[in-house]
Amino acid sequence: FAKSEGGDGFRFFSAEMNRHAHERMDLENQLHFAVENQQFELYYQPQFSLPDLHLIGAEVLLRWQHPEKGFISPAVFIPLSEETNQIYKIGEWVLEHACEQGVSWIREGFPLKRISVNVSAKQFQNKHFSELVASVLAKTGLPREKLELELEITETAVMTSPGDAGALLQSFREGGIMVALDDFGQGYSSLGQLKNLPLDRLKIDAAFVRDISGDMHDKNNGAIAAATIGLAHNLGFQVIAEGVETQEQLAFLIAHGCDEVQGFYFAKPMPKREFEKYLRDWL
């Protein structure tokens, strides 16, 4: 009996694995055509300065509208696209369209100080990345000081042995392109290396903003967010908090001298038209 149960268990397990592998392959194949078939769309989430709450810019967030499955989260397809090297093509599409959109908004007179584009570790570590950035800027005409690269490199070799990455970051800075470190505090990031990296901004991960509960008797309340703000300023970086959802969180961040914020408390990421309406109403 035990043996047959074990056998069934194994068959079930392997069928399950098979199904997952198939789904993954399906998704991978379909992702391959998503760029050509215009299934990608950029959403924009506004970012604000503190304490005056001026709208300063937007983070660009990719959306995949799958013809059958509907909306698929970037938290699912970005990691998949990295494993299959499709991130290069996708990342190029994002960068180009974000810069194009930025130029057109600036021409229309929207006073946007910057457009922040997410860049995954794999993209950043590609040796042609800086050429890509330069060529997209040249092609679209976006002034370089309007572009910010939001690097998701906290858990990677870039942080443990920065070497080349430091030089690349330096070249971006000298070229006037801003660089922010995304998801700061998430996973392992080497504090020792942080001081050697030429960055403009640290982005406090949403998890630490969520820790700000408004409960003044909880001594851990917002401790990491507050420490990160202090650390960033001591190292000469600005700091932005993501995932701000409540008035209490906003008040805490202002009280601790955080420079900028974004989150559902202000606005969700929006498609182009809606973001334009938001800009008009806000300004």
Q: Contact positions toward ligand C2E, by CB under 6 A?
A: 45, 61-62, 73-75, 78, 91, 94, 118-120, 152, 182-183, 206, 242-245, 263-264, 269
Q: Is 183 in the site for Mg ion (CB under 5 A)?
A: yes
Per partner kind, with CB cut-offs from 5 to 8 A, the member of Mg ion, ligand C2E, none near residue 259 is none
Q: State the Cα–Cα distance between residues 5 and 32, nearest whole angstrom.
A: 40
Q: Is 152 in the site for Mg ion (CB under 5 A)?
A: yes
Per partner kind, with CB cut-offs from 5 to 8 A, the member of Mg ion, ligand C2E, none near residue 46 is none
Q: Is 200 in the site for Mg ion (CB under 5 A)?
A: no
Q: For residues 203 and 256, which CB has a smaller minimum distance to ligand C2E in the complex?
A: 203
Q: State the Cα–Cα distance between residues 110 and 229, nearest whole angstrom.
A: 29
Cα dihedral 96, 99, 103, 109 sign = positive
Per partner kind, with CB cut-offs from 5 to 8 A, the member of Mg ion, ligand C2E, none near residue 263 is ligand C2E
In the complex, least distance from residue 138 CB atom to Mg ion, rounded to whole angstroms: 25
Q: State the Cα–Cα distance between residues 241 and 243, nearest whole angstrom.
A: 7
In the complex, least distance from residue 224 CB atom to Mg ion, rounded to whole angstroms: 14
Question: Residue 47 pairs with which residues in a beta bridge?
Answer: 57
In the complex, least distance from residue 266 CB atom to ligand C2E, rounded to whole angstroms: 8
Q: For residues 4 and 80, which CB has a smaller minimum distance to ligand C2E in the complex?
A: 80
- Does residue 178 contact residue 201 with C-beta atoms inside 8 Å? yes
Per partner kind, with CB cut-offs from 5 to 8 A, the member of Mg ion, ligand C2E, none near residue 189 is none
Q: State the Cα–Cα distance between residues 270 and 46, nearest whole angstrom.
A: 9
Q: For residues 21 and 76, which CB has a smaller minimum distance to ligand C2E in the complex?
A: 76
Q: Identify which of 119, 109, 130, 117 has the alpha carbon closest to the alpha carbon of residue 154.
A: 119
Cis? peptide before 51, omega within 30° of 0: yes
Query: Cα angle vertex 41, ends 83, 43, to 5°?
Result: 100
In the complex, least distance from residue 93 CB atom to ligand C2E, rounded to whole angstroms: 9
Helices in 141-222 by DSSP H: which ranges? 157-160, 163-174, 191-194, 206-210
**How many chain residues interact with Mg ion (CB under 5 A)?**
5
Per partner kind, with CB cut-offs from 5 to 8 A, the member of Mg ion, ligand C2E, none near residue 27 is none
Q: Is 148 in the site for Mg ion (CB under 5 A)?
A: no
- 272-282 and 87-107 helices cross at what angle (nearest 10)? 40
Selected range binding Mg ion among 42-50, 68-76, 149-157, 193-201, rule: CB under 5 A: 149-157
Q: State the Cα–Cα distance between residues 50 and 257, nearest whole angstrom.
A: 8
Per partner kind, with CB cut-offs from 5 to 8 A, the member of Mg ion, ligand C2E, none near residue 78 is ligand C2E
Q: For residues 82 and 182, which CB has a smaller minimum distance to Mg ion in the complex?
A: 182
Give the three-state DSSP class for 71. strand
Give the three-state DSSP class for 165. helix
Residues numbered 99-118 forming contacts with Mg ion, rule: CB under 5 A: 118
Q: Is 182 in the site for Mg ion (CB under 5 A)?
A: yes
Element (H, E) at 186: none
Per partner kind, with CB cut-offs from 5 to 8 A, the member of ligand C2E, Mg ion, none near residue 226 is none
